[in-house]
């Protein structure tokens, strides 16, 4: 990174830009004069102060450091700019959360940020990347945290501007929490006095360290999924799919970091990076590589589990279809038996019904051998049907 430059005194036009909101934000009440507080008239209650500007909600914390020690904690961006001009060899660290477009444009004018980087910072859903615009580095990071209650991974986005005498973080989402990073750096003034590069590497380390609980949580989820797969839980397919999608997002967050960190390490000699920071960054790179490999392993494991689950589901469906087929076959056999006996019993019923019609002109009724003939006919028909059904395995 380029050596620290002396901050130039801004032009009157730029100065008026960031001071204008403060002048307009607190209009005078009571005496009708603008620019002075004024007193309220008789019987009037004193005017309440105007609400804080929008930046109060988006500026998480702003501080100025000199030789690794905090020397000022301005309450607004305007105060931060003013204090930074007084501290010629100081460093500003400004943390923003979901800032407005006006705030980013103000920062862009004050710190000479490139318009493309500012445009990216306004919009979330950027992929991790590292870009250099003159003396300013623009870094996009994807942080992650594991939510135990929901058993899912929540992703956040962090944009970092790193210049010769400033660090600006723009956070989209709940992660990462940079308060602990700032506190740890303030407790290590020897590291903080190395400048904005040290802050950037501390942020990278915090983001990468935040991946460890996610990896542990995902590993536990995969172990549970394996148990559910072999226990036949029907809802496990959906869980595998959702976790696979999270791993795709996790992979998109970690894989580009490997190339980003190697790019930073390649510039050690060119930008005369401190030896301590070089060791610091190499350690972060090792953690990123390890995490990226674990995420790749998770995706492969989930793909294998999904294949196994599909096989088990297919086997279960085949078993159910086989059971249904066997039940249908058994039912068909019973129906054939019932049908066979019904046909056998129907034969004597038919003969008896014919000779029971009581017509006068039926020769067999007055025949001496009529009764034996009817009984014999019934027996012959029943025996013939029994033999036929028996040969066809219906009985």
pLDDT at 389 over 80: yes
Q: 183-235, pLDDT tens digit by residue?
A: 999 999 998 988 899 999 999 999 999 999 999 999 999 999 999 888 888 88
Cβ contacts of residue 131 below 8 Å, gap of 6+?
117, 137, 138, 139
24 — pLDDT class (breaks 50, 70, 90) = very low
Listed in sequence order, the DSSP H helices in 26-147 are 55-58, 77-86, 101-111, 115-122
* pLDDT for position 89: 82
Q: What is the mean pLDDT of residues 51-74?
A: 74
* CB-based contact 164:3 (threshold 8 Å): yes
Q: What is the mean pLDDT of residues 261-272?
A: 80
Q: 350-381, pLDDT tens digit by residue?
A: 888 877 777 777 777 777 777 888 888 888 88
- Percentage with pLDDT > 90 across the chain: 33
d(CA 143, CA 131): 18
* CB-based contact 386:393 (threshold 8 Å): no
* pLDDT for position 310: 87
Listed in sequence order, the DSSP H helices in 177-235 are 179-186, 189-192, 196-209, 211-231
User: Which residue, 259, 165, 145, is CA-closest to 206?
Assistant: 145
pTM of the model: 0.68
Q: What is the mean pLDDT of residues 266-293?
A: 85
């Amino acid at each position: 990174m380029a050596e620290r430059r002396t901050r130039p005194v801004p032009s009157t036009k730029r100065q008026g830009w960031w001071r204008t909101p403060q002048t307009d934000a607190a209009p005078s009440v009571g005496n009708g004069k603008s620019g002075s507080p004024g007193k309220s008239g008789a019987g009037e209650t004193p005017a309440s102060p105007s609400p804080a500007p929008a930046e109060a909600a988006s500026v998480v914390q702003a501080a100025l450091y000199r030789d690794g020690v905090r020397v000022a904690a301005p309450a607004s961006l305007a105060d931060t700019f003013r204090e930074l001009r007084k501290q010629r060899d100081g460093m500003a660290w400004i943390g923003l959360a979901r800032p407005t477009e006006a705030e980013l444009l103000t920062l862009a004018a004050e710190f000479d940020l490139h318009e493309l980087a500012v445009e990216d910072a306004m919009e979330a859903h950027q992929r991790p990347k590292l870009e250099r615009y003159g003396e300013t580095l623009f870094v996009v990071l994807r942080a992650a945290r594991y939510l135990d209650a929901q058993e899912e991974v929540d992703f956040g986005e962090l944009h970092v501007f790193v210049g010769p005498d400033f660090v600006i973080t723009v956070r989209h989402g709940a992660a990462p929490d940079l308060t602990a990073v700032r506190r740890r750096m303030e407790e290590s003034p020897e590291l903080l006095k190395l400048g904005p590069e040290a802050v950037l590497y501390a942020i990278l380390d915090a983001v990468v360290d935040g991946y460890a609980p996610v990896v542990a949580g995902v590993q536990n989820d995969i172990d549970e999924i394996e148990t559910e797969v072999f226990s036949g839980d029907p809802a496990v397919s959906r869980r595998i799919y959702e976790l696979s999608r999270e791993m795709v997002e996790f992979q998109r967050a970690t894989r580009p970091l490997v190339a980003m960190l190697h790019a930073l390490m390649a510039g050690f000699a060119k930008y005369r990076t401190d030896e301590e920071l070089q060791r610091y960054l190499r350690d972060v790179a090792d953690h990123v590589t390890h995490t990226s490999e674990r995420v790749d392993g998770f995706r492969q494991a989930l793909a294998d589990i999904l294949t196994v689950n599909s096989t088990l589901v297919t086997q279960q469906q085949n078993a159910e279809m086989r059971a249904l087929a066997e039940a249908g076959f058994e039912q068909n056999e019973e129906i054939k038996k019932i049908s066979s006996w019904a046909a056998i019993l129907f034969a004597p019923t038919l003969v008896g019904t014919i000779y029971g019609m009581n017509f006068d002109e039926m020769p067999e009724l007055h025949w001496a051998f009529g009764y034996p003939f009817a009984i014999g006919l019934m027996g012959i028909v029943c025996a013939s049907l029994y033999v036929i059904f028996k040969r066809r395995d219906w009985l």
